[in-house]
A and B are shown apart, each in its own frame.
Chain A
Amino acid sequence: MKPLTRTDLEAYGRQNGEMKEWIRVQLDTGGIAAGAEEALAELTRVRDENRLTIPIQRVGSVGYSFADPVVEVKCPGLPRILYGQVSAEVAALIVRDHVMKKRFIDDHAMATRQRSLTIDQPVTQILVRDTGADTGSKTEFFQFAFVEELKRRGLAERVQVVRALDMGIYHEGVVVQLLPSGLTYSNVLAADVARIVTESVAERRVLDDLLFKMPNPQVRIVLRNCGEVDPDSLEDYLTMAKGYQGLRRALTGMTPEQVIAEMKTSGLRGRGGAGFPTWLKWQLTRAQKSDERYVICNGDEGDPGAFMDRSVLESDPHSVLEGMILAAFAMGSTRGYFYIRAEYPKAVERVERALVQAREAGLLGSNILGSGFSFDAKVRLGAGAFVCGEETALIASIEGKRGSPSPRPPYPSVKGLWGKPTAINNVETLANVSAIILHGGAWYAKNGTETSRGTKVFAVTGKVKNAQLVEVPMGTTLRQIVFDICGGVLDDKDLKAVQTGGPSGGVIPDKHLDTPVSYETLQQLGSIMGSGGMLVMDKTDSMVEVAKFYLRFCVDESCGKCAPCRIGGYQMLQILDRITRGRGTTADIGILRRICTAMQKASLCGLGQTAPNPVLSTLRYFEEEYKAYIEGGPSYARKTSGRGQVVETSKETAKAAVTP
């Protein structure tokens, strides 16, 4: 691509790149693992075989991990539709039935989340699914009933009835969605079928008693382009996603101070976990007198169970890069680094490609868009050390050293990379920045609560029915996230707790599920927001084992520099191990609490200070489980933890404890 000028970029901003037809295959790591590449090959083969011209695009993931591999199709005269669990056979059907015959495919179509309350267009498809049971047992009966009713009214030619894979609504009986409008009925009974067909399908009248009115609780800001653009194409980002328009706005009409002010209005706080106001971080860095300042994107997503950052970097790298350039402009920095885990090869590859493309287009380099502002960025790889998510350790790692944290102050905003002022922002934070500068801080601040503005992406996994990425406004309750959006607990078991914040966070028991999510409320419950991993646990999961799992992680990952973390963690792990073998004593619980306090107070960095959190929060809410182990003895322990899950203390752990 030739270097862009302001006028070029302005022209791109006016473009609406929406094409009239396409097939989009979602190729992120999760999708590829599920077989998205096989689906892509089959789609291409069958399309070419039939001499069709419909473009097949490679995009990132929309976040529906439970339905991977996901393919989205748009054809003239048909509503956009997502297909889940697309095997090679289904891929062939997508071309042969959907594209060529305009017929949807049973058991793979997914309902749209953008539910309408009116029927503004003639109904052409009816999606149906029984959401009361996992098996969708009554779905086929209802499909049959609708088809019969449509035949009787002579509408069968016009309207297709499709069994859906997922409605986005759970435990609401039989759910029916009328396409293309997206009007949705829930708790539909057999007797309602005739009414729906005569009134809604034939006469486009809304049946108020059946109408599912709850609006879609998700708001996609960070994930706005995920699944919409080809992550390997700058052209796509420019034409379809108003790409780099925020940057153009900042470089042509704003001073760095105004950018920071806009961020202040937005109220955006760091999405890496601690929640430090982003604007303040930038301002502090800017205020330092220095010949050079650095901006770093922290993509060292080490929390087990979290994959938001991977997904954003893989699906929409340019929006993160745009955020970084904006941050650099606001702070007067000329160099930046993406620090990404080596375990995410796809993310690394796509970010590197984005950097090359941006450099070619003149969006990186000297005198960007003729503004006199120069900036360039590079990728640095992590090497499998959790502590490198901590900012001082991350800086040491970029400098090519061991990732040992150092005491703060001085904070990186004063003395960071190579001793220069440095701002470290999380992937999600930077993806927000580009949207905020484009649409304005006030627009962003409309979502969320008083102290926690905007939206937050969560990776909901574990014992949950539909593991997926969820982006909701702050203030949404945990219950809404787990039950309304993700369908509740796997196999309809009872929920025991939700774990947030990874190894630095804590568990939240089911009685607190109605808590609105924000930095403060989660902290009050003894957990943290963290980067956004959300693990659902059912009644069969032992909380003591979970605490041990997280603690073992922190002990393995402790760098060993300071004693509270190195020794305290190891000792706690020994005690927990004893308890889970049924050999604990009642005194152990008191000792655990004391070591926790010592670690929190005396550890050097965030890893050691927060490592006791899983233990403390399980003690707070599930002390009776600890006691049951202690009182029940070895036989109880074998029964509870016995599912082959007890592993010997690893060699690494033992090594960490003796290495000074």
Chain B
Amino acid sequence: MNSAPPLPVEDRDPTSTELAKCDEASLLGLLDEIEHRHGFIPREVSDELERLILVRLERLKRIQGKLESTIQRDVQNHVATWREEEGNLIMILHAIQNQHGYVPREAAMALSRELGVTLARIYEVITFYHYFKLQPPGNHSVVVCNGTACYLKGSLELLNELRARLGISEGQTTADRHVHLDVVRCIGCCGMSPALVVDGKTHGRVKTSDIGGILDSIKKQEAKK
């Protein structure tokens, strides 16, 4: 869809194939030109556009439906594992977050239906605990430990360095969705302070000068993809 918009020939309207190749922005430009030429938008063009839009919508709906049924099935599986347990909500949320990296709204809604618990109560629990996330994380996570030992040994300097290099602050994801930066209380590696967790791997005794190398290795992994 992102191919360069075909330049319309001066004295004729675009064909339906040409229209179908346009993205939204170039469509708008085309429509402006057509309107300018005729003083109005001819019926054939508007009908063709409507058809195209419906086709695209249909396709999107199919994708969404597929997603929803997958999510529904996954949630049903999680619920089945924990069905017999009292107080299973938090454990199911852990399972969902482990799978998606966050708790998607659709999953929370499916869970509400499966468990017969109101959505409000599910969100009450999700938002209470720091561990549960409502936004999709980046492809890679960088977590700075800010336990007391790490704090005393300069974890804030590491955090400032990361903020400066990534251009985001904690709890945010870079615009290219490559890196998600976060701060945690304590990961219990106080003997190795200050500590960072990068994609689940703990790095101990980190210096600000190490940050560049750590981010470079993430960049390399992204480039390989």
B49 on the interface (CB 8 Å rule)?
no
Collect the chain A residues with CB atoms within 8 Å of residue B191's CB: 30, 65-66, 68, 307, 461, 467-468
Check A29/B202 contact, CB under 8 A, given A385-B129, A398-B87: yes
B110 on the interface (CB 8 Å rule)?
no
Collect the chain A residues with CB atoms within 8 Å of residue B171's CB: 651
User: Min CB distance, A37 to chain B, in Å?
Assistant: 10
B131/A383 in contact, CB under 8 A? yes
B64 on the interface (CB 8 Å rule)?
no
A459/B125 in contact, CB under 8 A? no
Check A307/B190 contact, CB under 8 A, given A29-B202, A400-B90, A549-B148: yes
B148/A467 in contact, CB under 8 A? no
User: Min CB distance, B213 to chain A, in Å?
Assistant: 16
B149/A402 in contact, CB under 8 A? no
B189 on the interface (CB 8 Å rule)?
yes
Check A305/B147 contact, CB under 8 A, given A384-B131, A467-B190, A553-B185: yes
> Is the interface on chain B under 10, 10 to 19, 20 to 34, or 35 or more residues?
35 or more
Check A342/B94 contact, CB under 8 A, given A66-B191, A645-B156: yes
B160 on the interface (CB 8 Å rule)?
yes
A357 on the interface (CB 8 Å rule)?
no
User: Min CB distance, B87 to chain A, in Å?
Assistant: 4
Interface centre among B93, B151, B153, B203 (most CB of A within 10 A): B151
Name the contact of A402 in the complex, choosing from B124, B148, B190 (C-beta under 8 A): B124
User: Min CB distance, B192 to chain A, in Å?
Assistant: 5
Shortest Cβ distance from B85 into A: residue? A378
Q: Which of B117-160 contact A (CB under 8 A)?
A: 124-125, 128-132, 146-153, 156-157, 159-160
> Is the interface on chain A under 10, 10 to 19, 20 to 34, or 35 or more residues?
35 or more
User: Min CB distance, B181 to chain A, in Å?
Assistant: 13
B8 on the interface (CB 8 Å rule)?
no
Check A310/B188 contact, CB under 8 A, given A462-B148, A499-B148: yes
Selected interface stretch from A108-116, A167-175, A296-304: A296-304
A142 on the interface (CB 8 Å rule)?
no
The 8 A CB mask of A536-560 against B (1 = contact, 0 = none) is 0100010000000110010000010
A418 on the interface (CB 8 Å rule)?
yes
A647 on the interface (CB 8 Å rule)?
yes
Name the contact of B186 in the complex, choosing from A306, A382, A418 (C-beta under 8 A): A306
B202/A459 in contact, CB under 8 A? no
A14 on the interface (CB 8 Å rule)?
no
User: Min CB distance, A499 to chain B, in Å?
Assistant: 7
A272 on the interface (CB 8 Å rule)?
no
Q: Which of B157-171 contact A (CB under 8 A)?
A: 157, 159-160, 171
Collect the chain A residues with CB atoms within 8 Å of residue B89's CB: 400-401
A302/B91 in contact, CB under 8 A? no
B88 on the interface (CB 8 Å rule)?
yes
Shortest Cβ distance from B159 into A: residue? A647
Give A contacts to B, CB under 8 Å.
29-30, 32-34, 65-66, 68, 301-307, 310-311, 342-344, 378, 380-386, 397-404, 418, 459, 461-463, 467-468, 499, 502, 533, 535, 537, 541, 549-550, 553, 559, 643-645, 647, 651
Q: What are 12 A-B residue pairs whose CB atoms fall within 8 Å in the complex?
A: A33-B204, A65-B190, A303-B186, A304-B185, A342-B131, A383-B94, A383-B129, A384-B185, A386-B185, A401-B87, A402-B124, A402-B125
Q: Which 6 A-B pairs have the closest CB atoms?
A: A65-B191, A383-B129, A304-B147, A33-B202, A384-B130, A400-B87
In addition to A305-B190, A344-B188, 5 A-B residue pairs with Cβ atoms within 8 Å of each other are A29-B202, A381-B91, A402-B124, A535-B148, A645-B156
